[in-house]
Structure 1
Amino acid sequence: MTCTGCETKLRRTLGTHEAVKNLKTSLVLARAEFDLEVGRMSVEDAIKFLERTTEFKCERVSNRGSRLDFIVTGDATTYAKGPWPDGVTEISSYGKNVIRVEFDAKVIGARDLKERGWPTPMKLAPPRPDPSLDAGSKHVRHMGYMTILSALLTIPVLVMAWAPLPERDIAYGSASLALATIVQIVIAGPFYPKALKGLIFSRMIEMDLLIVLSTSAAYIFSVVSFGCLVAGRPLSTGEFFETSTLLVTLIMVGRYVAALARQKAVESISIRSLQTTTATLINGDETEIDARLLQYGDTFKILPESRIPTDGTVIDGESETNESMITGESRPVNKSIGSNVIAGSINGSGTLTVRLTRLPGDNTISTIAGMVDEAKLSKPKIQDIADKVASYFVPGVVTLTIITFTVWIAIGVAVRGQSGNQAAVHAITYAITVLIVSCPCAIGLAVPMVIVIASGVAAERGVIFKSATSIELAHKATDIVFDKTGTLTEGELSVVSEQHFGIPETLATNQALLLGLIGSNKHPISLAIATHLRSKNISPLPITNIQTIPSKGLQGTHSTSLLRAGSSTWLNLPPSPSPPSSLPTTTLHFTLNLSPTPTLTYTLHTPLRPSASPTLSSLLSKNITPHLLSGDTPASVHAIASLLRIPASNIRASCTPAQKREYVRDLQSRHPHRVVLFCGDGTNDAPALAQAHVGIHVPCIAGADVARGAADVVLLSPGLEGVVTVVRVSRGAMRRVWFNFGWSFVYNVVAVVVGSGALVRARLEPAYAGLGEVVSVLPVVGVAVGMRWGGV
């Protein structure tokens, strides 16, 4: 697809069919997605219908589970007819000897399918690139070949028209006629059925029709002029086959350059390009295999400085990984036994042995790429403005062309004293220029080009916009509401201080007794202290008769000693002073044999995320008002708020999920002009995430799936820097959208004024009008790509 008219034609053609529901299209990706009622129309019939009514070449992109491409001997279609191995869900042929097999990886693994699924082992076909990128590459190559062919046919015509050759007008004219006819049929010919079918089936006048009208007018006029020359009555302008051929060639150059620029822009933010192609399989021996052949149960090795092929869990080795290309977090992440590794991240200096948890076709990279594609396929409301303007653009240009033609005939006859024929000859050159120099492509690309680049740039920085509407709204943010625990704070308690009141020689024993008492308890306080003790290589001593006393603590026995761990109230201990800290703390005491003094005392608190304070400061500098909601106690919530300079009037403690949602709704209703962001992490935040104009999910351990599903934006890293990225990317994107609209308007006004001859002294020859697409589209693409190379 080349302009918004193509996308409109696609939507009208598919959208009017009763079997098509929930249609989404993307001009930049040249892609459509929709639900199809197969009882009314099959997939094959839908493709045939679309190709017949629009002249688009369509390819079905299938994704049913895992898939592999195999090179087969004999006819590929015979394999598609069956019988199929167990676990195979679909087989389709690509060319004569390549089949695509889709299968359930939980039933049959990729290597098992390749080696034992068929009577003879299959040969794996070379990997196919991303379907959208592949289709775009094919289109660019085709446009390149056609542009070169058009140029080769045009150059001799230009030489015969402009070079100081001996006068052989009939001979040169005949040769030019032959070459121009080939250009008109072979190069410009495909525009005719597209324009006519768009007019007939979609009832719309699009850019292809302007090309058809302008190139046909130039060609036919030249043929008539050549006929007059042969008849001995040459026109004053002579024939100008160089105009029609150069016009077609420049149009092709413009479309090729625009298609190439769009393709490079999309490729530059392709998340799937992070997927490595090989893996070192550990199966007795170490074998390097194609990463597509990994299957459940596999163990693979990651060598130093190599990219991780897919998600897994470390079972041996220690290293650090660079996950910045996935999470946006620049600091290396330490990995040891039990750690999770992410596909696409880069290993550091150590060697890791990893057990596969997700297949290459369904790992973190694939998940992120899928969410990014969703954003690319969705459309912000501002796109409606562009579509509406574009729908009137071509009819408006046709009207201006008719006015230009009429006015110049009148000027030629009434002012310049020309004959009707002479005036018409000059008038038609102006009309051709107006037809072709105006270009709606820039208007059509103004929004989708920016959205594609913005969503890709955000993904590289660890932020996933799930819809284009989120990109459009976030730049208007006036308020942001934060959950506390797990969002502004780490979500897990950590030990602030440890006090031992016995003789130093008994410290290790007392710690071992405490770890034996609390080591298997799942309470957050017990977990935090147990983690702290294990980090000191403390081994637990056996404790018997362990009892949990709700809201108080734990008790048990060791030999003849009674052990207790809990609150000072339950243990009848005087409250101990908290260490100096702005954060609220929790204290656990450990006693032996009901002693009136503790043996060990631990003070814990929930630390702020390191990124919380810088993030709040940055948001305040952008005039975004912060709010804080939490189910925690008022004292804890107000302590956090005071550290982050959140006004007391914007704080709510002891909130239920319903109350969080009500707070956001009340904020929206009291201030309809405000745009509210909500940032949360868990299941209890899901209602508020869904209620806010833009919900931002911060990753956590518990409740991530529910909250992620309700959110509009997903952060891949627990750091809050991504919240600032959301606002920055949105603001940068919308600035570029409005610039593109402004440029499109200015260009087309100037182009029409100059092309129509309104400036008299400034004249654009019809032959050069085809440069209009390059001049209008490249700035739009360049401004969008500037988000990637020039920041946001």
Structure 2
Amino acid sequence: MFEGLEKMLKFQDKEKGMNGKHDLKVPLLEPTESVAVTVSEPAQREHRKARTVMFKVGGMKCASCAVSIESVIGKRNGIESVMVSPLQGQAVIRYKPELISVTTIKDTIEDLGYLVNELPEQDIAVCRLQIKGMACTSCSESIERALLMVDGVKKVVVGLALEEAKIHFDPNLTDSDQLIQAIEDAGFGADLISSGDNINKVHLKLEGINSPEDLNIIQSTLGSTEGVNHVEMDPVGHKVIISYDPDLTGPRSLIQCIQEAGQIPDFYHATLYVPPRQREAERQHEILVYRNQFLWSCLFSIPVFIFSMVLPMLPPYGNWLSHKLYNMFTTGMLLRWLLCSPVQFIIGRRFYTGAYHALKRGSANMDVLVALGTNAAYFYSVYSLIKALSSDSFEGQDFFETSTMLISFILLGKYLEVVAKGKTSEALAKLTDLAPETAFLLNLDGNENIISENEISTQLIQRNDIIKIVPGSKVPVDGVVVRGQSYVNESMITGEARPIAKRPGDKVIGGTLNENGCLIIKATHVGSETALSQIVQLVEAAQLARAPVQKLADQISKFFVPTVVVAAFLTWLGWFVFGEAGVYPRSWIPQAMDGFEMALQFGISVLVVACPCALGLATPTAVMVSTGIGASQGVLIKGGNALENAHKVKTVVFDKTGTLTVGKPVVVSTMLFSDVPIQDFCDMAAIAEVGTYCQHVVSS
């Protein structure tokens, strides 16, 4: 990394505009309803007139290129905001069309010597959805097809391993609710994670609520507050989620607004509420479900395996298992059938559900293969049992252990997969925890004198707040130093171990460590706009990006299931036809079996071997885990493309300080060119140094 990363990490999703509807809706609340309200004010209507355009800019080399574009474009009349990312090669510009045109903006960038390769359509919003029920790449492709059929959707990226979808759409034609509905119609579940027009949110716990009328008062008051974009009330839990424009308001202002809403001052109270990480809770629940299913499966499949493969080789037990109950129906067959059935139809029920939804939408995924393979093995084994009951000379073999062990191994693979995903989520959560929980807020008078000092939660910091950072504490948000001097350790961002001197006018980054002096800073970026939040967003975007080899695997996986089914059918047909034609000798066929049954065994084997469908699962999971673990170690990886191209690297150049070294030299070994014992020499050196004013950097 290098200096200016905070500008490089600005991403096109940071749109503070209010795309979509903004009509005031204040319905009467019922105790069990969860009501969302989107509001409109004259100032917001003026703000909504602005549009957003996104360019692809070529020729940018470093952060200084982004700064030059931002500074020149930002000075033009009609420009509200400019965000340029050299990493993404993109520029997101918010402008007023009545004051400046898109062509003028494009020409201005080209006059600076950069190439504008693409001029996409305007007013593009971005939202992220969590997807439930995906099994393999055919599921992600089905979701992409369903979303692309929605009017207004421009681009869709579905991450199988991350279980997320990132959608670029025209907010004038569709919204997140329609996108979720399209996914549900395709047979999957979806929840909104974030939306481009509602990035900054605050969760508040309400007190003093005695009736639905109190909630209506608070809701309408918040709805008429300047800067509030969206209000979502939870009448049951007395909570409210507010999406706001950080340029116009902030969490403390919203809390004060709620306290002033009642006829009696301070009748209503609001406190910061930190919701549990829903995705983390769901991930833990998923891990627990797969673990329990695997253990229950093992409880049945291991005895089936022992009764089928181990005990028949041991004479006493083998004789007991081969005891005939009726005709050729043995005790071993009965035990294997009884133990296999719960695994096939109860524990393996999830594969039937997934296969049904896949076939319903006209596709075939891994669940279809698992259902076909296990059912073929199970029902052929049931057929063998029926034939053994009705014949006194049948010597066929059942495959109950194949069905149960296959389901157990697949459940084990799914369990290991969700555990790996959970560790990646923990790595990203650790990044967000680098910022301190509290900060010291200063109140100044007109002469810039400090009136008071309060310790508040970092989540309550608003733009332009004055924050005091004492020595040894972390910087809570991105800002600019207005008073004081100190050294700040920015190794978390830059990798440079040596602290950087900070003086008035210098920028500081949230999450970095203030070492020795006291700094007074002015907050410039808060919430999701900080460099730390942008790093997390960059890693998440990298996890969604598909590697070239993954695209190849996706193309193969699209035809994988039909190909396997056709191959299994051709295998059965080939062995059956050749057997009937006498191409291979009759002695190849076991006694009490015919050519049809033996050919069926080969066809089942093809289905069983292919059904894990590892081709479509290995690459996305590997990319997700590697980018997440790399981020926890301070290494940002821009997706699977960078990982795939890493094997072509022949020369690596390091900035050694903080990379190959720790930036703090120490004595690692000593050598004495004298007959004096080393201990005596060290004693004499210590005595000689006592009382001197030498301050040696390196010491043992």
Alignment TM-score > 0.5, same fold? yes
* Cα RMSD after superposing both structures: 4.5
CA shift, 1:267, in A, is 4.6
Matches for 1:307-706 after TM superposition, within 5 Å: 307-379=474-546, 381-407=548-574, 409=576, 414-418=586-590, 421=593, 424-438=596-610, 439-443=612-616, 445-446=618-619, 449-450=622-623, 453=626, 457=630, 465=638
CA shift, 1:115, in A, is 5.5
Question: Within the alignment, does 1:25 sit opposite 2:158 as a pair?
Answer: yes
- Asked if 2 retains the 8 angstrom alpha-carbon contact of 1:226 and 1:234, the reply is no
Aligned with 2:463 (options 296, 318, 322): 296
TM (norm. structure 2) is 0.58
Quote the Cα distance in structure 2 between the aligned partners of 1:194 and 1:96. 34
Matches for 1:53-68 after TM superposition, within 5 Å: 53-62=186-195, 64-68=198-202
The match for 1:8 is 141
Give the secondary structure class of the aligned counterpart of 2:181.
helix
Change (3 A) 1:460 1:328: farther
Give the secondary structure class of the aligned counterpart of 1:83.
helix
Work out the number of aligned pairs and report it: 484
Quote the Cα distance in structure 2 between the aligned partners of 1:125 and 1:160. 56
CA shift, 1:41, in A, is 5.2
Give the secondary structure class of the aligned counterpart of 1:282.
strand
Change (3 A) 1:244 1:115: farther
- Asked if 1 retains the 8 angstrom alpha-carbon contact of 2:395 and 2:591, the reply is no
Aligned with 2:297 (options 120, 126, 150): 150
TM (norm. structure 1) is 0.52
Change (3 A) 1:115 1:308: same
Instruction: Please give the per-residue CA displacement for 1:669-691, whole angstroms capped at 9, x wherever unaligned.
Output: xxxxxxxxxxxxxxxxxxxxxxx
Larger Cα-atom Rg: 1
Instruction: Please give the per-residue CA displacement for 1:15-48, whole angstroms capped at 9, x wherever unaligned.
Output: 2344432122222322112234567655334323
The code of the aligned residue for 1:184 comes to Q
Change (3 A) 1:106 1:241: same
Matches for 1:33-48 after TM superposition, within 5 Å: 33-36=166-169, 42-48=175-181
The match for 2:220 is 83
Quote the Cα distance in structure 2 between the aligned partners of 1:378 and 1:414. 55
CA shift, 1:213, in A, is 0.5
Instruction: Please give the per-residue CA displacement for 1:262-304, whole angstroms capped at 9, x wherever unaligned.
Output: 4434654668435435013235666554322222343334344
Segments of structure 2 that go 5 or more residues without pairing to the other structure are 1-133, 263-267, 312-316, 443-450, 661-700
Matches for 1:743-762 after TM superposition, within 5 Å: none
Quote the Cα distance in structure 2 between the aligned partners of 1:402 and 1:346. 65
The match for 2:379 is 220
Quote the Cα distance in structure 2 between the aligned partners of 1:303 and 1:198. 58
CA shift, 1:364, in A, is 0.9
- Asked if 2 retains the 8 angstrom alpha-carbon contact of 1:271 and 1:368, the reply is no
Question: Within the alignment, does 1:126 sit opposite 2:274 as a pair?
Answer: yes
The code of the aligned residue for 1:102 comes to S
Question: Within the alignment, does 1:247 sit opposite 2:419 as a pair?
Answer: no
CA shift, 1:330, in A, is 3.0
The match for 1:197 is 357
CA shift, 1:111, in A, is 2.8
Give the secondary structure class of the aligned counterpart of 1:122.
strand
CA shift, 1:229, in A, is 5.1
Change (3 A) 1:198 1:286: same
Percent of aligned pairs with the same residue?
25
Change (3 A) 1:130 1:189: closer
The code of the aligned residue for 2:349 comes to G
CA shift, 1:67, in A, is 0.8
Change (3 A) 1:288 1:179: farther
Give the secondary structure class of the aligned counterpart of 2:626.
helix
- Asked if 1 retains the 8 angstrom alpha-carbon contact of 2:470 and 2:519, the reply is yes
Quote the Cα distance in structure 2 between the aligned partners of 1:243 and 1:76. 61
- Asked if 2 retains the 8 angstrom alpha-carbon contact of 1:9 and 1:204, the reply is yes
CA shift, 1:158, in A, is 5.0
Quote the Cα distance in structure 1 between the aligned partners of 2:560 and 2:186. 22
Change (3 A) 1:231 1:419: closer
Quote the Cα distance in structure 1 between the aligned partners of 2:272 and 2:176. 27
The match for 2:243 is 102
The match for 1:504 is none
Which has the larger displacement, 122-131 or 286-295? Answer: 122-131
- Asked if 2 retains the 8 angstrom alpha-carbon contact of 1:269 and 1:457, the reply is no
Aligned with 1:209 (options 368, 386, 404): 368
Instruction: Please give the per-residue CA displacement for 1:417-465, whole angstroms capped at 9, x wherever unaligned.
Output: 4468455555545444432433543455437744873598489768785
Quote the Cα distance in structure 2 between the aligned partners of 1:418 and 1:39. 69
Quote the Cα distance in structure 2 between the aligned partners of 1:442 and 1:66. 39
Give the secondary structure class of the aligned counterpart of 1:205.
coil
Higher helix share: 1
Quote the Cα distance in structure 1 between the aligned partners of 2:599 and 2:285. 40
- Asked if 2 retains the 8 angstrom alpha-carbon contact of 1:279 and 1:301, the reply is no
- Asked if 2 retains the 8 angstrom alpha-carbon contact of 1:279 and 1:288, the reply is yes
Quote the Cα distance in structure 2 between the aligned partners of 1:447 and 1:155. 31
- Asked if 1 retains the 8 angstrom alpha-carbon contact of 2:373 and 2:604, the reply is yes
Give the secondary structure class of the aligned counterpart of 2:231.
strand
- Asked if 1 retains the 8 angstrom alpha-carbon contact of 2:553 and 2:615, the reply is no
- Asked if 1 retains the 8 angstrom alpha-carbon contact of 2:203 and 2:273, the reply is yes
CA shift, 1:101, in A, is 2.5
- Asked if 1 retains the 8 angstrom alpha-carbon contact of 2:417 and 2:621, the reply is no
Quote the Cα distance in structure 1 between the aligned partners of 2:586 and 2:513. 76
Instruction: Please give the per-residue CA displacement for 1:649-701, whole angstroms capped at 9, x wherever unaligned.
Output: xxxxxxxxxxxxxxxxxxxxxxxxxxxxxxxxxxxxxxxxxxxxxxxxxxxxx
The code of the aligned residue for 1:146 comes to Q
- Asked if 2 retains the 8 angstrom alpha-carbon contact of 1:93 and 1:99, the reply is yes
Give the secondary structure class of the aligned counterpart of 1:61.
strand
Quote the Cα distance in structure 1 between the aligned partners of 2:556 and 2:489. 46
Change (3 A) 1:219 1:66: same
Change (3 A) 1:407 1:94: farther
CA shift, 1:248, in A, is 0.9
Which has the larger displacement, 304-313 or 361-370? Answer: 304-313
- Asked if 2 retains the 8 angstrom alpha-carbon contact of 1:390 and 1:444, the reply is no
Quote the Cα distance in structure 2 between the aligned partners of 1:39 and 1:269. 33
Quote the Cα distance in structure 2 between the aligned partners of 1:449 and 1:155. 30
Quote the Cα distance in structure 2 between the aligned partners of 1:247 and 1:471. 32
Change (3 A) 1:93 1:246: farther
The match for 1:614 is none
- Asked if 2 retains the 8 angstrom alpha-carbon contact of 1:2 and 1:259, the reply is no
Quote the Cα distance in structure 1 between the aligned partners of 2:477 and 2:162. 26
- Asked if 1 retains the 8 angstrom alpha-carbon contact of 2:394 and 2:592, the reply is no
Change (3 A) 1:384 1:222: same
The code of the aligned residue for 1:44 comes to D
Quote the Cα distance in structure 2 between the aligned partners of 1:95 and 1:218. 53
- Asked if 1 retains the 8 angstrom alpha-carbon contact of 2:138 and 2:365, the reply is yes
Change (3 A) 1:336 1:404: same
Quote the Cα distance in structure 1 between the aligned partners of 2:570 and 2:158. 35
The code of the aligned residue for 2:498 comes to R
Change (3 A) 1:215 1:77: farther
Quote the Cα distance in structure 2 between the aligned partners of 1:35 and 1:443. 25
Quote the Cα distance in structure 1 between the aligned partners of 2:302 and 2:211. 44
- Asked if 2 retains the 8 angstrom alpha-carbon contact of 1:24 and 1:32, the reply is yes
Give the secondary structure class of the aligned counterpart of 1:276.
coil
Quote the Cα distance in structure 2 between the aligned partners of 1:379 and 1:429. 38
Quote the Cα distance in structure 2 between the aligned partners of 1:19 and 1:236. 63
- Asked if 2 retains the 8 angstrom alpha-carbon contact of 1:271 and 1:456, the reply is no
